[in-house]
Structure formats: structure tokens, C-alpha cells
């Protein structure tokens, strides 16, 4: 989102700068891990790892763009020892582009690794992915609106965005909850943890989304607020993408073991052995 920027202390600016850098490194490392680790899984679960790799690749690219935008938006004024806006906009809209692509893929990852009965995986992945994309798309008009009041534009679009979010929770904790209970003990626990991680990380975003409805002048009149938001969003993205992908890998690995696949020995495809 293109927004009016407040002046920041060196500590506030550097905190956000370093968190963006840390996130880029985290997403890049996770991408390498997911690509390399998929060979240790049973073939039918490898696609879930490739989706995980795609998620962190997309996120890493957009954080690189956000990082560059942040760097160009501020310059240190030596006399005041403060980082002042340069006049170049800080384009935080990259986040919504990222979420529009990655959030649907996150629920697809979960569906793929659950190995639903034939014919159900595609249907379930589509309806959850569509609801996730709709949730992000409906929130964006409120985010960029100048009317941040509870009963104004921001409140309206925030409410509309909540509807697909509630639908996602309903499916994750009712329809898919029954499927999770049928898994082995360890797999069921891991799937439950993945589902809770989605709930907690996704739940952070609407909290930040609602803050401007209750704080006048937010964030331009509260210099520490923009740093808090950026660090909070960044931490949520790390857990929701890289951390979540690790959970998906552990689920796929455990299911591969239970199905008799040797996860400690890479098996070349039949075509390569011929």
C-alpha cells in the first residue's frame, strides 16, 4: 500500500530493514530445503513439497521488492539522527500480490499431503484455494482506502473479507477435521498443528487490518507503529510459509514411512534405472 510515512529513529528503521533481510534469507533457505527434501518422500507426496518450494520462492521475491522499496523510501538525516522519508513511496502492496498467490497455495499444500480419496482432493483444493484468494482480494480495497473508519470503506471490505475466512475455518475444522481424526496418531497431531499454525498466523493479519479503525492518524502520527506492523507481518509470513512448509514436510515424511517408503534412501525413477 502506498502510504504516508513517519520519521523513524535509526533503531526503528534498522529493525524493519534487518527483518526484511532475514526473511529473504529464510525464504531462500527454505526453497533449497524443500526442493532437496522432496526426493526423500514417497512420490505421491513430492508435489506437496514442490508447492511449498513455490510458496517460499514467491514470498522471497516479493520480500526482495519490499526490501528495496523500504530502502529507497528513507534516508538518514545526519543532523537530526533520524531516518526521514525521501518522497519515494513505500510500496507495501507487494504483500497483497504475494498473499493472493501464496495463501491459496498454503491450503492446497495441506489438502495434497492429506491424500484424500480419489476425486476429492481436486475439488477440496479448488474450493479452499478460491475462498483464500477471495479473502485476500476483498481485503485489498479497504487496505488502500483513505476511509479507515469502522463503519466506512475499510470496515465494509474488512467484513466482506472475513466471510471467506470463516468459511475456510469451517472446512478446516469440520470437514477436514473428520479426515484428520482417521490418520495415525503422529500424522493426526502434525496435521492438527499445521491447521492451528494457519489459524494463528492468519489471525494476526485481521488484527493489524483493524488497528487503523481505532487509532486516529495511524500510522503517520505514530512512528513506532509502522515498524511494529512490518515486523509483525514479517514474522507471521515466516511462520505461515517457511515454518508451515516444514510441518508439511514432516507430515509427508511420516506418511511415507507408514506406507513403507524408505525415507533415508533416495530411489531413482524407473526410467532413470533402465
Per-residue pLDDT of the chain (274 residues; tens, 9 = 90+): 556 788 899 999 999 999 999 999 999 999 999 999 988 899 888 999 999 999 999 999 999 999 999 999 999 998 888 999 998 988 878 888 999 999 999 999 988 888 777 778 888 888 999 999 999 898 888 777 766 666 777 788 888 988 999 999 888 888 787 778 777 788 888 888 888 888 888 877 777 777 666 665 554 446 667 888 888 889 989 999 999 999 999 999 999 988 877 777 555 544 444 4
Residues 6+ apart with CB under 8 A from 73: 5, 85, 86, 88, 89, 90
Q: Which three cell numbers stand for residue 262?
A: 524408505
Nearby residues of 205 by Cβ (< 8 Å), 6 or more positions away: 233, 236
Amino acid 117: pLDDT: 73
The candidate with the shortest Cα–Cα distance to 172, out of 121, 251, 107, 122, is 107
Fold of 10-268: Rhopdopsin 7-helix transmembrane proteins (1.20.1070)
Q: What does the pLDDT read at residue 274?
A: 45
Q: What is the pTM of this model?
A: 0.86
State residue 221's pLDDT score.
47
Residue 84 three-state SS: strand
Q: What is the pLDDT of residue 80?
A: 87
Q: What per-residue confidence (pLDDT) applies to 29?
A: 97
Q: Which residues of 58-79 are buried (b: 16+ CB within 10 A; e: fewer)?
A: bbbbbbbebbebbeebbeeeee
Q: What is the pLDDT of residue 213?
A: 65
Amino acid at each position: 500500500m502506498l502510504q504516508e510515512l513517519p520519521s523513524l529513529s535509526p533503531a526503528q528503521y534498522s529493525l524493519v530493514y534487518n527483518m526484511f533481510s532475514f526473511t529473504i534469507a529464510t525464504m531462500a533457505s527454505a526453497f533449497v530445503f524443500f526442493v532437496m527434501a522432496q526426493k526423500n518422500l514417497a512420490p505421491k507426496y513430492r508435489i506437496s513439497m514442490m508447492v511449498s518450494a513455490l510458496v517460499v520462492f514467491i514470498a522471497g521475491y516479493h520480500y526482495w521488492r519490499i526490501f528495496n522499496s523500504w530502502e529507497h523510501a528513507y534516508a538518514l538525516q545526519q543532523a537530526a539522527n533520524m531516518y526521514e522519508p525521501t518522497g519515494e513511496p513505500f510500496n507495501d502492496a507487494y504483500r497483497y500480490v504475494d498473499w493472493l498467490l501464496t495463501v491459496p497455495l498454503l491450503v492446497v499444500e495441506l489438502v495434497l499431503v492429506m491424500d484424500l480419496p480419489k476425486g476429492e482432493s481436486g475439488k477440496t483444493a479448488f474450493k479452499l484455494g478460491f475462498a483464500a484468494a477471495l479473502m485476500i482480494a476483498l481485503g485489498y480495497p479497504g487496505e488502500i482506502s483513505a476511509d479507515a473508519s469502522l463503519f466506512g470503506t475499510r470496515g465494509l471490505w474488512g467484513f466482506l473479507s472475513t466471510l471467506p475466512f470463516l468459511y475456510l475455518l469451517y472446512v478446516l475444522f469440520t470437514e477436514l477435521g473428520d479426515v484428520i481424526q482417521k490418520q495415525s496418531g503422529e500424522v493426526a497431531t502434525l496435521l492438527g498443528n499445521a491447521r492451528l499454525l494457519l489459524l494463528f498466523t492468519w489471525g494476526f493479519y485481521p488484527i493489524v487490518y483493524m488497528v487503523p479503525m481505532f487509532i486516529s492518524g495511524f500510522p503517520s502520527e505514530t512512528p513506532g507503529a509502522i515498524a511494529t506492523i512490518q515486523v509483525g507481518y514479517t514474522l507471521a509470513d515466516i511462520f505461515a510459509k517457511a515454518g508451515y512448509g516444514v510441518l508439511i514436510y514432516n507430515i509427508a515424511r511420516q506418511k511415507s514411512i507408514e506406507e513403507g517408503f524408505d525415507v533415508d534412501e533416495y530411489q531413482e525413477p524407473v526410467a532413470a534405472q533402465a
